[in-house]
Each structure stands twice: as structure tokens, then as C-alpha cells.
Amino acid sequence: MKTKKSLIIIGLVAIATIAAGTVLGVSLMSEKPIEKQTPSTIYCNVEGNNSTISTMKGDRVNLTLQDYGDGGYTWTIVSLNESLLKKESEQLNWGSTGMLGDFGKDTWIFTALNTGITTLKLECVRPFDTTDIAQIFVVTIDIQ
């Protein structure tokens, strides 16, 4: 009788040990690997003029402004600390209204390279007369 009880107890302990090992193995296998965090994108337009944007190192800043090309004006970056903020690209998006003078919007994409504070300043000027400034856009970017 004792032998039968001992065998049952040994069998139950073996089953519990196997079950615990299986649960532990499945738990270890199901942990997700740490994925590299993708950078965020901060969107800015004319409403962000004379404001401060906070962002993180590695994030992108997407700036879109109205194109005033009908008078020969183009946006020019006049102030930018390139050790903190790098211009990645610039694109012209043609106007969709079909109206005379609708030159659409210009978009610049910047990447925050290092921590610090920088001022991004653009002027809308004619290339042949840089003293005739149609618009000025200024934004302070605080990179954490």
C-alpha cells in the first residue's frame, strides 16, 4: 500500500515539475525582443511662427509653408544650427485649386541630431532683391 502511494506521489511531483518547466519555457519564448524605437515626426506650419517646439534627438521636424511664387518669392533658410538640426529634404507641392497664383506649399524635413536649442529662421524673398522680404518664419527648436 505504501509503495502504491509513493508511486502516485512521485508521479504527481514529476507531472508538476514537467508542467512548471513547460510554463517557464513558453514564458521565456514569448518575450518580445526589444525593438529600436522609430523617430517621431513633429509637424509645423505657419501657426507655429514665433513659437517653441520641443522634440527629442533623432526625431524629425516637418515644416510646411505657403509658397508665394507668383511674385517671384521663394523661401530661404537664413538661420539654422546644422550641428543640431539637419535639413534632410525640401519639396514643392503644387497647388491643387488650379487658381492663378496658387503655387501650393513648400515642405522641409529636418532631423534633430544633438541636444540643444536652435532657431530656425526662413525668409520669403526674391532671389534678385533680398531686401524685399514678403514673409518671415521663425521657430525655436528645443531638442532633448
Residues 6+ apart with CB under 8 A from 116: 81, 84, 143
Which range has the top average pLDDT, 6-15, 35-44, 62-71, 95-104? Answer: 62-71
Tens digit of pLDDT for each residue in 16-72?
667 666 655 656 565 566 565 678 999 999 999 999 999 999 999 999 998 877 778
The bridge status of strand 85-93 relative to strand 51-55 is unpaired
pTM above 0.75, yes or no: no
Q: Is residue 101 scored above 80 in pLDDT? A: no
